[in-house]
C-alpha cells in the first residue's frame, strides 16, 4: 500500500468519526429529560414554541433551543426588614415572608425579566401603602388584616406574570426604641394594676367566705339552742305531767301536802338574793289542818262540863 492509499484511508476514518460524533451530538441535543416539578420553555428559531413537561422530550437539533428550567414548586422568600412610616409618623421596621408559586412557565419567562425581584419590590410598595394608613397600635394588632390585604394585592398584580401568591406573613414589626420603652412601661403598669385587682378580689372573696362561715355557724348554734330549749321544755312538761299524775293517783290529803311544803321552805331560803318568800295559800290551809291535828286531842281530854277551879279568896 502506497502513501496515497494510506492517506485516503486516514481521511475516510476521520470523516466517519466526525460523522459519528456529529450524530451523537445531535441525538444528545435532541433528547431532553425534564425533572419532576420543573417546566422548560422551548424556542424554535427564536420564538416560543412549547413548554416541556416533566419526563422525556424530543427536540429538533439546531432549530429548537431550551431555556433554563422553571421551578414550579411553591417558594418561600424572606425579604429584609423594610422601614415603613405609619399614620402617626412613626418609623417601624417590618420583616415579610411571601409564599408564591409559578403556575405558568411561559408567562414567568416572557412577561417579567426577574420575577423574584419584582415580587420583592411589589411587596415593599404594597406594605408601605397598607401600613401607611394605620397608626402604630393598629399596625401591631392588625397583622391578619395586613396579611390579607397584601396577599390580595400581590396575587392580583402577579397574576399576569404567571405567579400565584398563596400567603403573606409579617414576621416582625419593630417600633422605635423609645416607643418600645414606653410600651414596656405601660405593660408593666398594666400587669401591676391587674395584680392589685386580683389581690383585692382575693381579699374580698376571703372576707365574704369568712363572714358567710360565721353566719352559718351562728345559725347552726341558734338552731341547736332552740332545739335544746324545745327538748328541755318538753322534758320538763313530761316531768310535770308525770308528777301531777302520780299526785292525783295517790290522792294526798292536806297533811301530806303541808309536810311537803315544809320540806320545800329551806330550798326557797337558799341564796343571798332571796329577799322575799312567797307562801302559797294552800300552805296556810295545810298548817291549819296540822294545828287542828296536833291540838284537837288535848282539847278532847278535858271532860265536858268541867269547870276550872275557883280562885281562892
**What are the extents of the domains in the chain?**
3-69, 73-175
Q: Mean pLDDT over all residues of the chain?
A: 80
Residue 162 CA, chain-centre distance (Å), reads: 45
Distance CA 51, CA 163 (A): 16
E strand residue ranges, 234-303: none
Q: Which residues are CB-contacts of 60 (< 8 A; sequence separation ≥ 6)?
A: 30, 44
Instruction: Identify the bridge partners of residue 55 per DSSP, sorted by sequence position.
Output: 34
The C-alpha cell of 32 is what? 431532553
pLDDT in tens, 39-49: 999 999 989 99
Q: Would you call 217 helix, strand, or coil by DSSP?
A: helix
Is residue 203 pLDDT above 60, yes or no?
yes
| 115-131 helix and 143-158 helix, angle to the nearest 10 degrees | 140
Residue 267 CA, chain-centre distance (Å), reads: 75
Grid look-up 396577599 returns: 151
pLDDT at 313: 34
Which carries the bigger pLDDT value, residue 182 or residue 278?
A: 182
pLDDT in tens, 68-118: 999 999 999 988 888 888 888 888 888 889 999 999 999 999 999 888 899
Confidence of residue 283 (pLDDT cuts 50, 70, 90): low
pLDDT at 302: 46
In CATH terms, 73-175 corresponds, of 3.30.565.10, 1.10.10.60, 3.30.479.30, 3.40.50.720, to 3.30.479.30
pLDDT at 38: 94
Amino acid at each position: 500500500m502506497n502513501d496515497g492509499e494510506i492517506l485516503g484511508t486516514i481521511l475516510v476514518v476521520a470523516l466517519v468519526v466526525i460523522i459519528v460524533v456529529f450524530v451523537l451530538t445531535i441525538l444528545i441535543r435532541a433528547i431532553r429529560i425534564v425533572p419532576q416539578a420543573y417546566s422548560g420553555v422551548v424556542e424554535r428559531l427564536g420564538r416560543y414554541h412549547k413548554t416541556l413537561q416533566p419526563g422525556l422530550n424530543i427536540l429538533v437539533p439546531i432549530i429548537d433551543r431550551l431555556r433554563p428550567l422553571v421551578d414550579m414548586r411553591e417558594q418561600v422568600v424572606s425579604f429584609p426588614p423594610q422601614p415603613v412610616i405609619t399614620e402617626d409618623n412613626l418609623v417601624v421596621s417590618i420583616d415579610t415572608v411571601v409564599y408564591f408559586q409559578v403556575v405558568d412557565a411561559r408567562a414567568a419567562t416572557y412577561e417579567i425579566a426577574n420575577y423574584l425581584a419584582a415580587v420583592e419590590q411589589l411587596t415593599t410598595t404594597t406594605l408601605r401603602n397598607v401600613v401607611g394608613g394605620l397608626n402604630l397600635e393598629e399596625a401591631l394588632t392588625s397583622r391578619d388584616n395586613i396579611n390579607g390585604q397584601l396577599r390580595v394585592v400581590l396575587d392580583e398584580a402577579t397574576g399576569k406574570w404567571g405567579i400565584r401568591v398563596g400567603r403573606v406573613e409579617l414576621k416582625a414589626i419593630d417600633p422605635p426604641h423609645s416607643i418600645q420603652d414606653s410600651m414596656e412601661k405601660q405593660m408593666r403598669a398594666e400587669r401591676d394594676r391587674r395584680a392589685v385587682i386580683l389581690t383585692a378580689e382575693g381579699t374580698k372573696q376571703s372576707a365574704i367566705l369568712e363572714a358567710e362561715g360565721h353566719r352559718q355557724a351562728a345559725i347552726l348554734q341558734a338552731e341547736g339552742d332552740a332545739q335544746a330549749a324545745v327538748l328541755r321544755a318538753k322534758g320538763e312538761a313530761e316531768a310535770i305531767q308525770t308528777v301531777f299524775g302520780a299526785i292525783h293517783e295517790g290522792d294526798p290529803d292536806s297533811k301530806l301536802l303541808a309536810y311537803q311544803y315544809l320540806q320545800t321552805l329551806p330550798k326557797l331560803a337558799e341564796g343571798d338574793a332571796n329577799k322575799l318568800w312567797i307562801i302559797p295559800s294552800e300552805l296556810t290551809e295545810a298548817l291549819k289542818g296540822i294545828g287542828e291535828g296536833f291540838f284537837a286531842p288535848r282539847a278532847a281530854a278535858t271532860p265536858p262540863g268541867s269547870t276550872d277551879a275557883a280562885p281562892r279568896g
